[in-house]
Each structure stands twice: as C-alpha cells, then as structure tokens.
Amino acid sequence: MQFPETFDVIVIGGGHAGTEAALAAARMGCSTLLLTHSIDTLGQMSCNPAIGGIGKSHLVREIDALGGAMGLATDRAGIQFRVLNARKGPAVRATRAQADRVLYRSAIRETLERQENLHIFQQSVDDLMISGDRVIGARTQMGVDFLADRVILTTGTFLGGKIHIGLETSAGGRAGDAPANALAQRLRALPFRVARLKTGTPPRIDARSVDFQRLQEQWGDQPEPVMSFLGNTGMHPEQRCCWIAHTNEQTHDIIRTGLDRSPMYSGVIEGVGPRYCPSIEDKIHRFADKTSHQIFLEPEGLTTNELYPNGISTSLPFDIQVALVRSIAGLESAVITRPGYAIEYDFFDPRDLRHSLETRAVRGLYFAGQINGTTGYEEAAAQGLLAGINAALASRGEQPWCPRRDEAYIGVLVDDLISMGTLEPYRMFTSRAEYRLLLREDNADLRLTDHGRRLGLVTDARWQTFEEKREGIEREQARLRQHYVQAGSPQAQQLRARLGSDLSREYSLADLLKRPEIEYADIAPLFEGASADPQVAEQVAIQAKYAGYIERQQAEIERMVRFESLRLPDTLDYDIVEGLSHEVRLKLAAARPETLGHAGRLPGVTPAAVSLLLVHLKKAG
Amino acid sequence: MQFPETFDVIVIGGGHAGTEAALAAARMGCSTLLLTHSIDTLGQMSCNPAIGGIGKSHLVREIDALGGAMGLATDRAGIQFRVLNARKGPAVRATRAQADRVLYRSAIRETLERQENLHIFQQSVDDLMISGDRVIGARTQMGVDFLADRVILTTGTFLGGKIHIGLETSAGGRAGDAPANALAQRLRALPFRVARLKTGTPPRIDARSVDFQRLQEQWGDQPEPVMSFLGNTGMHPEQRCCWIAHTNEQTHDIIRTGLDRSPMYSGVIEGVGPRYCPSIEDKIHRFADKTSHQIFLEPEGLTTNELYPNGISTSLPFDIQVALVRSIAGLESAVITRPGYAIEYDFFDPRDLRHSLETRAVRGLYFAGQINGTTGYEEAAAQGLLAGINAALASRGEQPWCPRRDEAYIGVLVDDLISMGTLEPYRMFTSRAEYRLLLREDNADLRLTDHGRRLGLVTDARWQTFEEKREGIEREQARLRQHYVQAGSPQAQQLRARLGSDLSREYSLADLLKRPEIEYADIAPLFEGASADPQVAEQVAIQAKYAGYIERQQAEIERMVRFESLRLPDTLDYDIVEGLSHEVRLKLAAARPETLGHAGRLPGVTPAAVSLLLVHLKKAG
Ligand SMILES: Cc1cc2nc3c(=O)[nH]c(=O)nc-3n(C[C@H](O)[C@H](O)[C@H](O)COP(=O)(O)OP(=O)(O)OC[C@H]3O[C@@H](n4cnc5c(N)ncnc54)[C@H](O)[C@@H]3O)c2cc1C
Ligand SMILES: Cc1cc2nc3c(=O)[nH]c(=O)nc-3n(C[C@H](O)[C@H](O)[C@H](O)COP(=O)(O)OP(=O)(O)OC[C@H]3O[C@@H](n4cnc5c(N)ncnc54)[C@H](O)[C@@H]3O)c2cc1C
C-alpha cells in the first residue's frame, strides 16, 4: 500500500546522523518522515557513553551553531565535563562530556518529538523505491510505501551487520538489535561501491564488583564546561567521577594466549577496523614494547552500576575477556554485564557522493553517517545535519550548501571523504584541518550561525543569543581599543607585576592584551564597562592573542579562493605536471576541469594534487 | 567455554516474569544470574503502558506483599492512578495505574542493579544444558556455558515470534526486537507439549495530531491511590489525564473491508488470541450489533507525545489501520507513529508443570510468564516470583511453597494453569477465585507478608511497616470494641442523622460499624485514639462490614482443607461417579489418587471434578 501523505524528505535510521538530518530538514520547513527500527532506541549511543573530545567537540559545536540537537542533549545528559588540551592553544582545545545514556536518549527523543514538520514512524525499511535515476521513496517491512523525492540513508552499522565474539558470530545491527539485511541486499544491487568495515566495543563492568581503592579518581573540570552555545551548567544533571586503571604484563600475556581465537587475527573478520580506536589486542600487537595501557572506567549513567572501560575494546573470546579484565588492579573480582564484541558492516565508498552528500548514481538519495565509512557519533551527526540541509534545499529548488574546508570541520570531513574515500573507519582530528586556528570550537557560532540563520536552521531564541554575543564582542573590542593605560598611572602600577617592568609609554588595552604576559582578566577590569559574558571574554582574548596567525591564515584562504577560479588551459598536459599520481593524471585528463577549483572537487583529486597543479601553473607563468 | 562462576539460579529473560524471578531468588540469598537479550529493555512493557486493573492489581499487591518490584516501580512510574469498581464491594475493587514507560524501565532496572546476589548479563540464550533428566545450565549465543542447577525460563513472546501486519509477516520477539529462534527449536526437541498463541497491540498515535476538543478527559482519582503497600503519593511523578474516544459505524465498515487481508480471518495466524483482550476486528465480528466501542487514549509517558489507543489492538493491514483511526471523532488527522500488529509465539502446555512451576520432564527447569500461556505483565510477574521462590527453596533443599487457591490469586493462577491448561492466552479475573472476599487487593499483605518474611523475601523495612500496620489494626479493633455509645449521649446525637433514628441502647463502636448506614469515618472520631493510618482504617472497616461473609468463606475453606485429606477408597469405581468427563475418569483410574486433595492436584482434574467426587463420597457414605 501507499502511505496517504507524501513527504519532502524521508530519513531512514534514528541514530546520530538520522536524528540531525531529520531535525534539520524539518527545521527548514520540509515535511519530514523519520523511519527507524525502534522509537525506543532513538539517539542510542552504540558504544562509549561520551560526546566530544579532540576534533569531535569541534563538530558538536558546529552542529550546535547550526541549530542541531547534539550539543544541548549533551548538556542535559552530561555527568562529567572536561576541557581537553586546556593548556594548549585554542585550536586544539576540546570539550568532552561523559553522558548518561538514558538521559541522552530521552533528550534526543524529546527534541525529535517536539519538532514541527517531523513525523516519526517505527518500522524497518527493507527497500528503496527508485524510478529511473531518481529515488522516489522507501518501502518498509510491512509493505507500506512512503513517498518522497529526497531520501537520506543513515543506517549506521546495521547493513549486513555481523557480530563477533571470539570465533562465534551472529547477525546483528549492534548487540541486542537485529541487522538490516533486506536493505543491505537491495543496496548491493545498486551501482555503489561497497566494502566492509568493523568496529568494536569493550565488555561492561558492574561497579559493585570493582575495588575503587586501587584506582585513581578523575573528576570533571571546575568551572564546569558546557557543550552547547546555549548551554549552562544549570542544565547539567548530577556530576560523577571516572576512574583510571591500567593493563599490565599479565593482561598482555592473557591477550596473547587468546589471539589464535581472535576473529581479527584468525582472518574471520574481513572488515578494516578504526586505527585510532584500536582494540586492546591491536594495541598489544602494534605497541609490543608497551607494558601498560591506561583504561578509563566511565560510569554509564546516574541510575546504573554499569561502567564502560574505555581502552579495552575487544572481540577476543569471552573467557579471555573475563581473564584480561580480572588481571587489572582493582578489577580482580570484576563482574562483566555485557561482553565486548566487534561488528562488521557494509559501508559505501564516499567517493560516490557529491559534497552535498547526495549520491552520484541516484538523484535525491543522500547517505550520511557510519554508512559513509566514518566512525563516531559526532562525525555521523555532522553528516546527518549536512544531508538534512541539502535535501531540504534541493526540495526548495535551491543550490546545495557545502561549507568549505576553511569554514568548518564539517567541510573538512565531507571533503576528505569525497575526495579521498577511506580505507578504514574515518574519525575527525584537528590535524585534518589546514586552518585549525580559524576552525576553533569556541568560534563555531561566529563561523556558522549566520549561515544557519539564512538557511532557516536557527530559531529566534538562538539567533538573539548569538547576536547579543557578537555585539558584545564588538563592543568589548571597541572598549579595549578606546581605553589607554598611561605610563606611571595606577593601572600601569597594577600591571607591573605581570609585565616585570614599567610601561614606557601609553598603550591601549587592546595592545596590552596582545602581550603574552597579559591575560584578559588582568586588563578587563582596569576600566569600567567590561563584558560580563564569559563567551565574549573568551573570544576577545583569543582573537587578540592569535590575531597575527589568524590574519595569516585568512590571507592564505583568500589566495586559495582566488585560485579556485584560476583557469586550467584546455591544452594542459597532465603527464608533465610533476608529482601527480598516475590515477590522478588519468582522472584529470578524462575530466578536463575548467578551473583549479573544479579540479579539486573531482573525486580522487586530493588537495595535495591541487597544490602540485598550482605550482605547475605558476612555473608555466 | 564455561563461565568461571557457577550460580544457584539462572533466569533467562528480563521481562516481567524474569525480573521478579531473579529478584526473588537473589533476595532469598541465592547467587542468581539474569541472562537477557538487552539490559536496555529490562522491564519493558511490550504493549499497554498500564499496570493493575481488575484481577491484576490483586496480583500486583500479592507480589508486593512478598517483596517484589512491580508495585513500587508502578508508584515511581505511574502518571495516573484510579480505583476501579470503587463503589462495588472490596473484593472486586482494583487499583490501576497508567505508567510512563521510560520511568518504569528505569525503576525496574535500578531495582535489579541494586539487588545483592544478582548478576545481570546481556546475551541471547540459544540452548539449555541438560544432563539426564536435570537441567545444569544455559548456553548463550557466543558459546559461553553458564552453570546452575535451577534454570527459570521466562522468554515471553520471543520463542519463534512471528509478527503480522495484514498479510505481511516478519520474525520478531516484539516490534523492534529479534525473536529467540535457536532456543525455540531446542525446546521443541524436549518432551514438552508446545502450541502457538497470539496477541496484538494497537497502532500508536502522535498526540500533536489529535483534536482533544472532541474528546472527553479522564483524570485519576482524588485522593490519589497508590499501588504498593510501601508506596505513597510523594513517589508519584506528575499526573496526566487520558481521553475517551469512540469508534463508529464508519470505523466498523472500514474494518470489515479489510478483513480479507486480516491475518486472523484469512487463516494466516494459527495461534489463538486472548478472548478478553480482543482485537478491534474481533470485537466488530463478535459484537456485530454494537455500533460503537469505547477507546481510551492513554499517554505513553511524560516526555513523549505518543498515545496508546486502548481498545483498537489490530493486525489489519496498515492502510486499514490509518483509515480506521482517522474515522474516529477527534482523530481525523491522527498521525500514527508505530503500526499495530499481532504476534504469534510458542507456549508450553502448563499441565506439564508442577505447582512449583518446575517442569515435570526436566528437573530444576522452571517456566514462568507468557511462555506458560498467560497474557499480561502482572500474570507474568506473579509466576516469575513464584518460580524464583521455588528455585531458591529447591536450591536450599527445602520443599516448594505453593500458595493455595484460598490464600492468593497467585495460587489461583498457577492452579488454574496446571490443572486445566489453557487454549487461549490466560488472564486473571476476580471471578476465577472461589474466595474472592478473602483475596482482596487491600489485604494481600495480611495474607502473604508473613509467608514472605519466613521465606526470606521481605526486608526489615517492609516487615516493620507491615507489623506496625497489623498491630495498628488490632489496636483499632480493640478500641472499637472498648468504646460504647450510650443512648442519648452527645455521640448518639451525632449519629442520629446517619441512622435516621435514635439508638435504643448502648452499642460498641465495633457493633455500630457493622451497620450499613455507618461509615468508619462516622464513628472513628467519636472517641479519642483513632488510628491515623488510612490502611488501618480501610482494614478495620472492611473486616467489620464483611465479617459475616468472610467467616462463612473461612469456614468453607476449613471444610475444603479437611476434604483435602479425605481418603479415596482403593476400590473406587470412577465410571460410576456422576458427571465426570471421560478424560477425567481415565486419568483418575490411571493415577488412583489416595486423597481428594491428591486427586485435585492431578493434571486435568478440575476443581469441578473434585466437587463431583466429594458429592459421590458423601452419597456413598
Ligand atoms: C560495537 C560498536 C562499537 C563502536 N565503537 C566506536 C568507537 O570506539 N568510537 C567511535 O567513535 N565510534 C564507535 N562506534 C560507532 C558509533 O556508534 C557510530 O559511529 C554512530 O553511532 C554512527 O551513527 P549513525 O547515525 O551513522 O548510525 P547508528 O547510530 O548505528 O544508527 C543507525 C540507526 O538506523 C536504524 N536503522 C538501520 N537500518 C534500518 C532500516 N533498514 N530501517 C529502519 N531503521 C534502520 C537503526 O535502528 C539505528 O537507529 C561503534 C559502534 C558500534 C556498533
Ligand atoms: C504485541 C503484544 C501485545 C500484547 N498485548 C497485551 C494485551 O493486550 N494485554 C496484556 O495483558 N498483555 C499483552 N501482551 C503481553 C505482555 O506483554 C506479556 O504478557 C508480558 O510482557 C509477559 O511477560 P514475560 O516476562 O513473560 O515476557 P516478556 O515481557 O515478553 O519478556 C521476555 C524477556 O525475555 C527476553 N528473552 C527472550 N528470549 C530470550 C533468549 N533466548 N535469551 C535471552 N533473553 C531472552 C526478552 O528479551 C525479554 O526481555 C502483549 C505482548 C505483545 C508482544
């Protein structure tokens, strides 16, 4: 049967990608349908109960700046907040929160249920409906056809999902959930390149069986950080501590005795695992000389005794899991509540996508999240948001919005995937961005909320808060430029201890702030009228301190943007461009792009290849 | 591999039966393992978000009196409390609560996680381990053997679960959950009689799409009832209302047009459905002359928009579901969030069980819950509790505890199942009990908490509260017997309006309370020292008002208990006992029971048959 209403956008899958996709499309005014296996698992965190961290919090803040749900849900569910790299430069500073799983799910579900234009329906999708080269809808298990001209697929680890514990395997989308096999089969018949990846999760431990005396406590930071630009600590539930434990040589010996029954080392698993989130057996193997690895025991929530032992993801047989856990000091009597496991699943080569996340082969069909070869909630959510935006724009007949690499980590993420593909689960790092100092987590709103407002993603309330902040920054910057500290004045006196010497002449507060010895807090109160908003203070300080670097990066970007439109001669012989790989030469020769920008957007033509082209053009005059 | 620890009791399945079974065994001091598909679905309500109701609240109170979890979890999750039949006699009075699904799950999970001696492990069980005629453990999907001499199987609707929506079918334990097929196959190979049953659930509706103006509100009762003997309204979350809607002739026409694609009416479903919880298509069919049926729209929780339309359970095709819902006044634009469906599953003939719920064929193996052919959370929980108790007793080497029909609805439930089996999903009704006036929900603690304390099920805190109540009742009854109202006294004056005439002589308060015109509240304050505890007041009033009936029933029970030990002559010719069915005659002749009680406990020998035997013995002298 055909469902009576048709939709502008259908989103398949209610994980992190699907959630943001559905919310974005609905916020932009599209009638949106979210089809998912179970309403009860909306927003479920499949693995670690944490949001954010280096590179990842940058994505969360960008999603938040564009009106997404992840940041606020984290503030409503976070039971420990920390700023990582707090003593390093602002580019790599990152907020990370432990989240209560149940509270996180509720926060996401509530946001979804309150969203106008969004209809949620619980059913497995077994088939896509395709007419010619266009998607026209999705068919559920019970044979109902839901029609829409844009469909976003966000099925995570569920396509052909296969769970491994030692040499035992079973079908599953994640532990406790059935896989999506009918849909996987259907997709394999479409003209997409498909391959297998794998990821893993550690066993969970009953806190009542842990000897915490032998472990080191780790509390969140004070003052308590927040995740969302609209967040505040008043939203946070009760805060909890984590504990630090360590593997030892005995642990490693135990692991080694299990390797012959490891699905990874015995060749049972064909999928490639995440290099940066390795299993404990991987770590033992790759860092054979290390005699100990750190483990964080993270509470899974306020109302449960389950602990997540971050650092010992494993698919070793269960007897080895028990022995390895119990070999760790403090965990001698540990009781496991859920076994660790690895999961293998189908993913699609992201080089078959456009920057809008629309597939090249099927118009109106978008892929977002783990299905594109990424790993991580934040990476999934970022893609979901972008796919939701672009599906909505397409449905309005507008051009896609694809943030550039210098505008957002979302841009970096998508550009990396589309131009380079991925051979292993892709996760975000700050090192992937060329313009790190511009793409800070603290300024995601200044970079993106304007765009979000224009796109229709940003509510009035968020917009007002944002404008107040932006004006506050400008006002405060003007104030700092206006006020001068005279040599020998009482204010100069106050700064003496900081500077180690007297001021030789008058300086504006703005100039003083640029000095490495001076903190914003030193100069702000010297004259009346400082901003009370800590977000304003943070921006003013960072922008002053890093002004030089920031300007340099901005100039570089402007140059790049100019190069974008640099024309490539029709007669250009790619064979003589130095350093290009054979594959790239073939691609360029076949496509004959008109501009350098166009060349750079060809699948398989990397940013490095573009630089080589640029050098060649410059040499050629 | 073999799990390093062995357990006294293993419970398979974390539904309502499994939860109470595991808690009971652990409370009694047994090292207990709960194995279940997913820790996140512990205590999940598969269908309607409500606990209690007629016959069912009686079970909940009995479970509660024995220290079980269901009552308190209901008080922590209940968003609307009512007393049904409030104006009828106390035997059929019943408390019913709408429950927030998420809060209910959390309350149950927290109780489980806090229980000493209880270990929870997430894994599907694929096999039972049996040695000779004994169970020795359970094997999970990943090939781990967990050893225990007692295993309680509480797998609900998951064994060979098959979901139907119209003529579409899929495998599932309930919507969104995989079935337990490996285990089902294994069980079919054991010497148990197995058959299929079915049950169904209605589509869920998004409250934002309902026109509440056209519906009638229904609020909970004031003063707010509580479920647990230890409960109080301070535990209750925010309270909500339900709404009443009605089907109409158009609705019924729509349903009739769908019957040719109904899995029930087209013969696709072989299982038998619950007669007392019929699907809407059943109701239309069976009560063809009724032009309207009532529907209660019940909120699924505080933080969700989903409504449960109680009364339109259906497995009709989805297009019919949409049309039938939208034909109802107030639901013209209703948006469905989850389709209704029917589920078919394996159940085992309970006549193959002992009164302890141990299977006759495999020692140490107990069955509890929906697997025994019952329906309902409360029925499942009651059986789980009993199986948990008896597994624990067996593990201590003690005799089973099997409450009699005159002691508890739990006794009625188990006795009905074991002696009569069931051809359709069995649910509890007060009419199933012979001694209804004794088995009230209000006195479940007075009937059972003593037993529970002796068995080791009742905590000190519960026991103290109970003893205070029991003493309070005795004190208050003594007080009422002590104080006399003299004719012409000021107190008599106060009662005049109630009685319509003057007192002719002095009466004790106790005697006055027996009069139909007099309420406890009328006489309690006439003299100082009345109890402040409303539970005490309730007991004193009921025991006084119904003293005559109660004594008669008690006498009858004593007579029955005597008959229990009435010897059946060795030479008794069952063919001449009037009224016995052929089947029963054969059974009795084969078994040659020694006493009437023994005869009554033979599988297939019904209470009615026992009465016939009694009549025969009396006639025979
Ligand atoms: C075992 C395991 C370990 C992991 N370990 C890590 C780790 O160490 N580090 C890390 O960063 N990330 C890890 N992850 C990855 C992280 O969970 C994912 O990156 C993230 O959840 C992906 O989000 P998503 O929205 O793409 O998919 P998911 O969160 O998987 O959500 C997919 C959704 O789609 C639904 N769905 C699927 N198929 C259908 C269908 N046919 N019809 C209807 N609905 C459907 C599902 O029910 C689900 O709601 C792990 C994941 C798993 C399962
Ligand atoms: C669609 C539907 C409609 C219903 N309608 C009604 C109704 O109208 N009225 C009514 O009173 N009742 C209804 N019920 C019944 C009610 O849900 C059950 O009576 C009650 O839940 C039974 O409790 P239980 O503990 O026996 O099983 P369940 O609540 O079904 O729990 C079974 C548990 O066992 C676990 N499990 C199963 N197999 C395995 C395995 N192999 N390994 C590990 N774990 C396993 C499951 O994950 C689950 O946790 C309905 C149920 C369904 C599914």
Q: What is the pLDDT of residue A116?
A: 96
Q: A194 CB near a chain B CB, below 8 Å? A: no
Which stretches of B156-202 are DSSP H helices?
Answer: 181-188
Q: Which ligand is nearest to the CA of B428?
A: 2
**Given the CA of residue A377, which atom of ligand 1 is nearest to it?**
20
Chain A residues close to B178, C-beta within 8 Å: 172, 177-178
Top mutation candidate among B46, B125, B310, B347 for ligand 2, by most atoms within 8 Å of CB: B46
Contact residues for A508 (Cβ-Cβ < 8 A; gap 6+):
A480, A481, A482, A483, A484, A485
Q: What's the farthest any 2 CA atoms get from each other in chain A?
A: 85
Residue A37 in contact with ligand 1 by CB distance below 6 A? yes
3-state secondary structure of B461: helix
pLDDT bracket for residue B122 (50, 70, 90): very high
Q: What is the pLDDT of residue B267?
A: 83
Q: Which of A1, A143, A337 minimises the CB distance to B39?
A: A337
Shortest CA distance from A5: residue in chain B = B335
Q: What is the pLDDT of residue B618?
A: 84
pLDDT tens per residue across span B596-614: 888 887 877 877 788 889 8
**Given the CA of residue B383, which atom of ligand 2 is nearest to it?**
26
pLDDT tens per residue across span B161-201: 999 999 999 999 998 888 999 999 999 999 999 999 999 99
Q: What is the pLDDT of residue B67?
A: 98
> Is the distance from CB of B356 to CB of B193 less than 8 angstroms?
no
pLDDT bracket for residue B428 (50, 70, 90): very high
Shortest CA distance from B44: residue in chain A = A40
Beta bridge partners of A128: A138
CA dist., res. B237 & res. B219, Å (int): 15
Give all domains of chain A, ordered by start, each with its CATH number: 204-337 (2.40.30.260), 460-557 (1.10.10.1800), 566-620 (1.10.150.570)
Between B435 and B95, name the one with better pLDDT: B95
**Given the CA of residue A313, which atom of ligand 1 is nearest to it?**
8
CA dist., res. A286 & res. A278, Å (int): 10
- Residue-wise DSSP of A41-76: GTT--SS-SEEE-TTHHHHHHHHHHTT-SHHHHHHH
Residue A315 in contact with ligand 1 by CB distance below 6 A? no
> Is the distance from CB of B511 to CB of B494 less than 8 angstroms?
no
Inspect the interface and report whether the beta carbons of B39 and A317 lie closer than 8 Å: no
> Mean pLDDT in chain B?
93
- Which of A179-193, A479-493, B58-72, B521-535 is the most confident on average? B58-72
> Is the distance from CB of B153 to CB of B126 less than 8 angstroms?
no
Question: How far is C-alpha B310 from the geometric centre of its chain's CA atoms?
Answer: 18
Inspect the interface and report whether the beta carbons of B339 and A122 lie closer than 8 Å: yes
Phi–psi pair at B74, nearest 5 degrees: -65, -40
- Across residues B305-320, what is the average pLDDT? 96
Q: What is the pLDDT of residue A620?
A: 79
Chain A residues close to B303, C-beta within 8 Å: 106, 109-110, 113
Chain B residues close to A206, C-beta within 8 Å: 113, 119-120
Question: Measured in angstroms, how far is the CA atom of residue B376 from the centroid of ligand 2?
Answer: 8
Inspect the interface and report whether the beta carbons of A38 and B165 lie closer than 8 Å: no
Inspect the interface and report whether the beta carbons of B143 and A166 lie closer than 8 Å: yes
Chain A residues close to B42, C-beta within 8 Å: none
Please give the span between the terminal C-alpha atoms of chain B, in angstroms, as a whole number. Answer: 64
Q: What is the pLDDT of residue A101?
A: 96
Q: Which of B119, B120, B318 minimises the CB distance to A142?
A: B318
Contact residues for A87 (Cβ-Cβ < 8 A; gap 6+):
none
Q: What is the pLDDT of residue A591?
A: 81
Q: A317 CB near a chain B CB, below 8 Å? A: yes
CA dist., res. A217 & res. A213, Å (int): 9
- Residue-wise DSSP of A510-574: HHHHHSTT--HHHHGGGSS-----HHHHHHHHHHHHTHHHHHHHHHHHHHHHHHHTPBPPTT--G
Shortest CA distance from B5: residue in chain A = A335
Q: Which ligand is nearest to the CA of B48?
A: 2
Phi–psi pair at B79, nearest 5 degrees: -115, 5
pLDDT tens per residue across span B351-383: 999 999 999 999 999 999 999 999 999 999 999
- Across residues B323-348, what is the average pLDDT? 97
Residues of chain A with pLDDT under 50: none
CA distance A120 to chain B (A): 6
> Is the distance from CB of A74 to CB of A104 less than 8 angstroms?
yes
Inspect the interface and report whether the beta carbons of B176 and A338 lie closer than 8 Å: no
Virtual torsion, Cα A250, A255, A256, A262, nearest 10 deg: 170
Is the pLDDT at B275 greater than 90, yes or no?
Answer: no
**Given the CA of residue A374, which atom of ligand 1 is nearest to it?**
19
Residue B46 in contact with ligand 2 by CB distance below 6 A? yes
Residue A277 in contact with ligand 1 by CB distance below 6 A? yes
Q: Which ligand is nearest to the CA of B18?
A: 2
Q: What is the pLDDT of residue A601?
A: 73
pLDDT tens per residue across span B194-253: 999 999 999 999 999 999 999 999 999 999 999 999 999 999 999 999 999 999 999 999
Two tokens, residue A117: 């234009």
Residue B350 in contact with ligand 2 by CB distance below 6 A? no
Q: Which of A209, A276, A205, A214 is nearest to A244 (CA)?
A: A214
Question: Measured in angstroms, how far is the CA atom of residue A173 from the centroid of ligand 1?
Answer: 8
Question: Measured in angstroms, how far is the CA atom of residue A261 from the centroid of ligand 2?
Answer: 36
